Amino acid sequence: MTEKTERDHVSGTETTGHEWDGIKELDTPLPRWWLYIFYASIVAAVIYWVLMPAWPMVNGYTHGVLNWSDRRNVAAEVQTLEASRAPMFARLASASTADLARDPELQEFARAAGESAFGDNCQTCHGAGGAGAPGYPVLADDVWLWGGSLDEIEHTIRVGIRSGHPDARMSQMPAFGRDHMLSAAQIGDVTEYVISLSAARDRLHPNAQSAARGAQIYLEQCAVCHSATGAGDRTVGAPSLVDDVWLYGGSREEIRRQVELGRNGVMPTWERRFDDGTIRALAYYVHQMGGGEADQAALAPATSTPVLDQDQGQQSGANVTP
């Protein structure tokens, strides 16, 4: 940079002395406003270091005079939010079904709180909006295994199904095939009969002879829980076989496989995980998905009522199976 500089006559600014093919570079100073903002930024940065957490140290970091912490602030905000919601949860927990029906504000709260809890905890199995999945009941429909009133739904959420909770909802579909209670032919016949009972007969067209043979087996093995008409029994959690809604799939093969394998799903108990208000909110949310039923007064929540325990199933199976 030893080149001689000169003054440009148009702008009155010095050149840097660099020249390319007659084009000279002006040594225009930084615009003042830019320079001042630059200095101000440096000052602001130093002030920031002093006030706010800034520099990493060997153990931890400089906390700054203000001792600012986003983590603490968020925790405090969450706490404030929870505190502000607590009265509504308390109101919800103590509200009777009739109270809830009369109170649009409480309903709105229950719906919102329920939706949020459902999304975090239930949606994985039951699907968004209670859409269900094979093996996981649809909650949005009007088909209920254990009852669709607000109270029944709430009880199911509390105790779970085959959950290990002392009062858990319990039912046991035997595995007629795997446990050799029925022969493959018998299972085929009973499947045809079940189809003939259900609304699926219009699309699956059961074999009449096979179904007639299956009728006898059905009466011996299945009617205890599913009832002679196939209407099911909610007190024992036995699904209705007359509709066209199938927990493990509605094709002929899927129905047959359920008779063969008798799969029994598990729903955890949520009593220890949620407070009463949240459970009530969840129940309300599920109830209003569309299939919720009116409350039957004083319908006592079913306690552990295994219909067919393992022994019975095997015994009766032994009678039939050669």
The stretch among 66-74, 89-97, 121-129, 158-166 that binds other proteins (CB under 8 A) is 121-129
C-beta of 237 vs 292, nearer to other proteins: 292
Position 288 contacts other proteins (CB under 8 A): yes
The only residue of 93, 125, 140, 212 in contact with other proteins, by rule CB under 8 A:
140
Give ∠ CA 264-255-283 in degrees, rounded to 5. 45
Contact characters 36-75, other proteins, x per CB under 8 A: ----------------------------------------
Rounded to 5 degrees, φ, ψ at 139 are -95, -15
- Residues in region 73-102 near other proteins by CB under 8 A: 101
Position 114 contacts other proteins (CB under 8 A): no
Q: Rounded to 5, what percent of the chain is helix, strand, coil?
A: 50, 5, 45
Position 290 contacts other proteins (CB under 8 A): yes
The stretch among 151-159, 267-275, 284-292, 310-318 that binds other proteins (CB under 8 A) is 284-292
As a whole number of angstroms, the distance between CA 26 and CA 7 comes to 9
The stretch among 40-48, 122-130, 159-167, 213-221 that binds other proteins (CB under 8 A) is 122-130
Position 287 contacts other proteins (CB under 8 A): yes
Position 249 contacts other proteins (CB under 8 A): yes
As a whole number of angstroms, the distance between CA 82 and CA 157 comes to 22
Position 244 contacts other proteins (CB under 8 A): yes
CB 246 within 8 A of CB 230: no
How would you class 224 by CB atoms within 10 Å of its CB: exposed for 0-12, middle for 13-18, buried for 19 or more?
A: middle
The structure tokens 């004083």 sit at: 298
DSSP one-letter code for 145: S
Using CA atoms, how far residue 42 sits from 48, 53, 84, in Å, is: 10, 17, 42
C-beta of 141 vs 271, nearer to other proteins: 141
Of 237, 78, 87, 218, the C-alpha closest to 172 is: 237
Position 103 contacts other proteins (CB under 8 A): no
The only residue of 246, 258, 260, 308 in contact with other proteins, by rule CB under 8 A:
246
Rounded to 5 degrees, φ, ψ at 238 are -90, 120
Position 128 contacts other proteins (CB under 8 A): yes
- Residues in region 154-213 near other proteins by CB under 8 A: 199-200, 203
Size of site (CB under 8 A) for other proteins:
32
Distance of CA 158 to the CA centre of its chain: 15
Position 129 contacts other proteins (CB under 8 A): yes
Q: Which residues contact 206 (CB under 8 A, 6 or more apart)?
A: 192, 193, 195, 196
Q: Which residues are near other proteins by CB under 8 A?
A: 10-11, 101, 107, 127-132, 138, 140-143, 199-200, 203, 240, 243-246, 249-251, 287-292
